[in-house]
A and B are shown apart, each in its own frame.
Chain A
Amino acid sequence: MATDVDIAEAQLSHKRWLTAPALLCITLFGMVPLITVMSYSLMQPSEYGGVVPKFSPDAYISLLFQRDVFDDALTFSPDYLIIFARTVAFGAATTLLCLLIGFPTAYFMATRSPDTRNRWVLLITIPFWSNLLVRTIAIMFIIRDEGLINMIMLSLDLINAPVGIIFTDFAIVLGLIYSFLPFMILPIYAALEKVDFRLAEAGFDLYASRFQVLWRIIIPLAMPGIITGCVLVFIPTFGAYVTPLLLGGGRHMMIGDLIALQFGSSRNWPLGSAFATVLMGFVLLALYIQARKAMGVSHG
């Protein structure tokens, strides 16, 4: 009996070794940079970029308060907050629109016959075959002043002059939706695929309307997929850098541009690190809420 336990334990410790490469990678490439960023955020900026290893909370103070350029008083400054809020708003709009487009798509896919479903999944994943930058530039060609959309509308005499689509907030959200839509569709599809649609039939038999079946049966069953999809779309929008830069024309910064600026010509690494740390905190919060919700769903 005792030997059995010993063997089991030995096997377990043996298996622990198998995780060593993964743990090493996470520590080396995940934790070390993370700790570096966090410690940089508490240091003083060096004159020409880099940091001076002296403690200073200035970076965090300047997130909200700035020494006024014009009279030196330490005053509340909403500039960074506005950029942060814009990032959250773009992220939320992208997530919502992805959900509105993604759910019906996933529902359609999940209700096909099993042998054609894989074909649909393949179609959804095709965009991943090419680089995000290439795809974003492709969008530019379609929506620019002399691009496909404007040329077609001009030739059909729908408009007299090109409509400015590119370099607007709309273009940014359009680009974000295009980039992240598959991340919404696939988890919802995975959840819906497992749904036993006889439950919906039972609902109809009990005189539920189509809306009631959708709202009270299908959506609750798809909820884990919906939550995962929302997290997978919402969180990467915070790090979006290429899309706002190319499609937004750089008129309005998102948090990614702001961080890049601090490590570039602003020469303020601690402030850049502080942004990154706060952003990380925000993402962790979002993940925590998601985990709580997901647990609630599985227990409910």
Chain B
Amino acid sequence: MLKSSWFAIAAFALSASSALAEGKLHIYNWGEYTNPKLIEKFEKAYDVKVTLDLYDSNETMMSKVRAGGSGFDIVVPSDYAVAIMIEAGMLEKTEPASMENFKNMDPAIVDIYFDKGRHYSVPWQLGVTSFVVDTAVYRGDINSYSVLFDPPAELKGRINMLDDMTAIMHAAERYLGFPRCTSDKAQLKAVNELLNKAKPDWRTFSYDSLQLLAAKDVDAAMIWNGAAFRARAQRETLVFAYPKEGIEGFMDNVVVLKAAANLENAKLFQNFIMDPKNAALISDFANYNNGILGSEKYLTQDFSDAPEIKRPKGATPEYVAPCPSEVVTMYNKIWTNLRK
């Protein structure tokens, strides 16, 4: 009995190892961001075993892969983080521009500041950071940052701000008509005053806008457009704002780490997700655009025509490069003072 069970285990181990795919691919992506169907399809198509690990911020990811030897092949940094990683020499030049499916990439995002001509990166998902307002609570015009920084009486004390220093500083700069990453002392002083004046009207600083809105803990919240799409499914009267002062864009990109163990499979993956059918799988899961033309054919009308997803004319997102460290130091001072 004992002998036969050992035999069974050995046989199982053997079969398991023979079932192991030829290649491997180790992906490090944001949490709740990767469609399992996409991974399954890639594994089947190329006989590659994919391992997925998750992170919750660019900074976490970068501090982990900075030293090298992390074992990851692919990471998915946001726009500014791609710029940092290229500058630090952390990425492999995979030349997506010469890949077969590159023709599908939206030309508008090919010559982007962080990777002009796309030598390193392929878009994963992209969106905008703005806010939603429950129009059953407040019926006025919502397309201005005044809703956040000088809120109407109905929304006072019912607002969630993202716990994101950079996003809030940039929103305040837009509202006051200053340039992003301003180092002008007078302008920073005005930003500081604006934030301190508005703080009593804010209920929370949290990334979890979706849950706070669903539980009716707040009636307005800073939020990413894909999350806003999902929030509306739970609370119909929420409307996504396209503030007239400008709107912050973000774009997460698939890049390959320098000296990745599975370089060829990583390149295959970059090409794979530029296929509209596969890009549609990505959007179908986390509800953001993917930057691949033709993918909308494989998505539902409800999604592609949603007000959160289909931007009105003139609402062009701005991708902001990382601020210089002396500006970050001043941001940090204002931010700490705000939250002390």
A interface, CB within 8 angstroms of B: 45, 47-50, 66, 69-71, 77, 79-80, 82-83, 144-146, 164, 166-167, 245, 249-253, 257-258, 261, 263-268
Contact = CB atoms under 8 A, between A and B. Distances in A.
Nearest to A249: B204
Which of A167, A261, A268 has the largest count of B CB atoms less than 10 A from its CB?
A167
B134 to A, nearest CB: 13
B63 A50 contact: yes
Contacts, number: 93
Contacts of B88: 48
B188 interface: yes
17 contacts: A49-B66, A69-B334, A79-B333, A80-B336, A146-B215, A164-B157, A167-B217, A245-B206, A249-B160, A249-B203, A250-B163, A251-B339, A252-B339, A265-B57, A265-B165, A266-B335, A267-B328
B154 to A, nearest CB: 14
A187 to B, nearest CB: 34
Contacts of B333: 66, 69, 77, 79
B66 A50 contact: yes
Given A66-B333, A69-B189, A250-B205, A48 B217 contact: no
Contacts of A265: 57, 59, 164-166
Nearest to A252: B339
Contacts of A252: 339-340
Contacts of A66: 333
Contacts of A251: 199, 202-205, 339
B330 A69 contact: yes
B215 A268 contact: no
Contacts of A268: 329, 332
B325 A267 contact: yes
Interface of B: 57, 59-60, 62-63, 66, 84, 88, 157, 160, 163-166, 185, 188-189, 192, 199, 202-206, 215-217, 322, 325, 328-330, 332-337, 339-340
Which of A50, A69, A264 has the largest count of B CB atoms less than 10 A from its CB?
A69
Contacts of B202: 251
A258 B217 contact: no
A225 B84 CA distance: 53
Which of B164, B199, B325 has the largest count of A CB atoms less than 10 A from its CB?
B325
Given A249-B206, A252-B340, A49 B189 contact: no
Given A69-B188, A145-B216, A266-B335, 4 more contacts: A146-B216, A249-B206, A250-B163, A263-B63
Given A48-B84, A264-B59, A70 B339 contact: no
A47 B340 contact: no
A167 B59 contact: no
Nearest to A140: B215
A79 B216 CA distance: 32
Contacts of A50: 63, 66
Contact of B217 (A71, A82, A145, A250): A145
B59 A49 contact: yes
A184 B157 CA distance: 36
A82 B339 CA distance: 10
B54 to A, nearest CB: 16
Given A249-B205, A252-B339, A267-B325, A70 B188 contact: yes
